[in-house]
Chains A and B, each alone.
Chain A
């Protein structure tokens, strides 16, 4: 991993179009400003991993799914 030292308000460029700026340094956290093109998604890593995990879980769950039974159940409960 590349390690760079930056001071408040200094930036890092990633390629030509992504800029990370150190905005504020607190005791245990750092505020980072991100400028990136609209087609680039920016995520907190834990959120990114959580979404991936749920999608993988969704795929595994689908193999056991009895959607017909569930759809029937829904239809029944809709009727008065």
Chain B
């Protein structure tokens, strides 16, 4: 199942490459599927190339594995799942910068800060990652809206609304 409707290409054998992620182990990938941030992530300019890895067991979360640094792995989620009313204002310049002409052609990812206590998991809805699903050009953008922060709680939001703390635990 693909939560993030990126267009994957099947790699031919001679094209296939490998990296060993500190978190995820050995990953074989096709260079065609590398997501490229021309300017890197905000504040981390050297982090330019990533793989989006999705597993059914982890849905709706995915991993964004750095190709540049095997020890750098982010957990990501579609921000529209986190907040069904999520809106990204003034995107035309940002979309243009990754060659996107229509809203059909890109996907958004929000970076998750994980905690073993679900109530403390946060999502960066203020600075999502935009990815052109066709050519994998990407950019991290800053939204103007004051409705979002870099650490919005995951629990209070859409997808987690139905979450209830396990019985017997203090609320």
Considering only CB atoms, which chain B residue lies closest to A68 in the complex? B57
* Contact A55 B43, CB 8 Å, known A47-B142, A70-B61: yes
* A39–B97 CB distance below 8 A: yes
- One of B22, B111, B118 near A70 (C-beta < 8 A): B118
Q: Is A59 an interface residue (CB 8 A)?
A: yes
A25 to chain B, nearest CB (A): 25
Q: Min CB distance, B6 to chain A, in Å? A: 19
Residues of B within 8 A of A68 (CB): 57-58
Contact A74 B163 (CB under 8 A): yes
Total contacts A-B at CB 8 Å: 101
Q: Indicate if the CB atoms of A66 and B116 lie closer than 8 Å.
A: yes
| B12-50 interface (Cβ within 8 A of A) | 22-23, 39, 41-44
Whose C-beta in chain A lies nearest to the C-beta of B141?
A: A41
Contact with A along B73-111 (1 / 0, CB 8 A): 111000000000000000001001100000000000001
Q: Which residue of B lies closest to A70 (CB)?
A: B118
Residue A26 interfacial (CB < 8 Å) = no
Question: Is A51 close to B, CB under 8 A?
Answer: yes
Instruction: Give A44-61 as 1s and 0s: 1 = Cβ < 8 Å from B's Cβ atoms.
Output: 000111111111111101
Query: Are B74's CB and A52's CB within 8 A?
Result: no
Q: Which residues of chain A have C-beta atoms less than 8 A from B57's C-beta?
A: 67-68, 71
Q: Which residues of B contact A50 (CB under 8 A)?
A: 150
Could you tell me if B63 and A61 are in contact, using CB atoms closer than 8 angstroms? no
Q: How many residues of B sit at the interface, in one of the four size bands?
A: 35 or more
In the bound complex, what is the Cα–Cα distance between A61 and B71 (angstroms)?
12
> Is A65 an interface residue, CB under 8 A from the partner?
yes
A38-B97 contact in complex given A58-B75, A61-B113, C-beta closer than 8 Å = yes
| Docked CA distance A8–B99 (Å) | 38
Seed contacts A43-B42, A61-B75, A62-B75; 5 additional CB < 8 Å A-B pairs: A39-B39, A51-B126, A52-B41, A58-B114, A63-B73
Can you give 26 contacting A-B residue pairs, CB < 8 Å? A41-B142, A43-B42, A49-B43, A50-B150, A51-B127, A51-B140, A51-B150, A52-B41, A55-B42, A55-B124, A56-B44, A58-B111, A58-B112, A62-B23, A62-B73, A63-B22, A63-B73, A64-B114, A65-B75, A67-B114, A70-B114, A70-B118, A71-B61, A74-B60, A74-B160, A77-B162
